């Protein structure tokens, strides 16, 4: 008995159905893969990971990283302004050396200018004491860079006379490798500029 041949058109319809089903499945699989990659990328951009002491992975939100950066930046600016302006005849060399670790050439150039103008010689000659009273810094982020504006209130004790000054300084912050104890926050001050300096009226 002969095996009956199937209708050629029926075979073609079945083949076409199979091909169409494979194409649709491949397309859906591709779209699903793209969506998964996009989702994972967004999660990676908004999270960082740290290893806990027990070996577990801890996700850290990007917003938390920015908050931590702000805390570190404010501490860095306070440390720098304390070293650079809280000086007297006994500590100015060591304090200025520490301050220079926290900024780039713009800070070094200002230091050299002050030195050339005799600021530190007068400090020694008249035994002046320059004491920082307060440091208030504002940080602004723009296009991935961080600019700051700091208001430093300090007084100069000339013995019988004490004068109080307000200094407004500006600059930018960039991240560098931490260098403990010279640069514990891993930040560097750039484009540093003493914008204004004015004498405040003393009440006494």
Structure confidence by residue, pLDDT tens digits, 136-148? 999 998 877 899 9
Pick from 140, 134, 131: which is nearest to 173 by CA? 140
The predicted pLDDT at position 176 comes to: 93
Distance between CA atoms of residues 103 and 194, nearest Å: 14
Distance between CA atoms of residues 35 and 33, nearest Å: 5
Give tens-digit pLDDT for 169-181: 999 999 999 998 8
- pLDDT tier for residue 129 given thresholds of 50, 70 and 90: very high
The predicted pLDDT at position 59 comes to: 59
Lowest mean pLDDT among 54-68, 94-108, 172-186: 54-68
Give tens-digit pLDDT for 38-65: 777 665 555 555 555 666 555 555 556 6
Lowest mean pLDDT among 18-27, 28-37, 55-64, 176-185: 55-64
Tally Cβ neighbours within 10 Å of residue 36: 10
Kindly state the average pLDDT of the residues 87-110.
96
Kindly state the average pLDDT of the residues 66-88.
93
The predicted pLDDT at position 64 comes to: 62
Distance between CA atoms of residues 76 and 53, nearest Å: 28
Q: What are phi and psi of 187, to 5 degrees?
A: -130, 160
Higher pLDDT, 36 or 4: 36
- Considering 25-29, 46-50, 110-114, the range whose residues carry the highest mean pLDDT is 110-114
The predicted pLDDT at position 31 comes to: 83
Higher pLDDT, 158 or 59: 158
- The CB-side HSE value for 131 (13 A sphere, CA atoms) comes to 8
Lowest mean pLDDT among 4-13, 45-54, 109-118, 187-196: 45-54
Omega of the bond leading into 31 within 30 degrees of 0 (cis): no
The predicted pLDDT at position 204 comes to: 47
- Asked if pLDDT for residue 201 goes beyond 90, the answer is no
């Amino acid at each position: 008995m002969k095996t009956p041949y199937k209708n050629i058109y029926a075979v073609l319809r079945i083949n076409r159905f199979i091909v169409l089903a494979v194409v649709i499945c491949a397309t859906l699989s591709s779209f699903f893969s793209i969506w998964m990659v996009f989702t994972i990328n967004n999660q990676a951009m908004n999270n960082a990971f740290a290893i806990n002491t027990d070996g577990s992975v801890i996700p850290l939100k990007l917003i938390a990283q920015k908050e931590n950066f702000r805390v570190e930046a404010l501490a860095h600016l306070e440390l720098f302004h304390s070293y650079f302006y809280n000086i007297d005849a006994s500590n100015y060399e060591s304090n200025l050396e520490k301050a220079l670790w926290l900024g780039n050439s713009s800070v070094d150039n200002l230091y050299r200018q002050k030195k050339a103008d005799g600021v530190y010689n007068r400090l020694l000659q008249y035994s002046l004491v320059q004491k920082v009273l307060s440091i208030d810094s504002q940080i602004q982020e723009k296009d991935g860079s961080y600019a700051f504006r700091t208001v430093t209130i300090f007084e100069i004790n000339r013995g019988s006379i004490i004068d109080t000054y307000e200094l407004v300084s500006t600059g930018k912050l960039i991240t560098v490798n931490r260098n403990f104890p010279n640069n514990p926050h891993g930040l560097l001050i750039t484009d540093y500029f003493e914008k204004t300096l004015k004498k405040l009226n003393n009440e006494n």
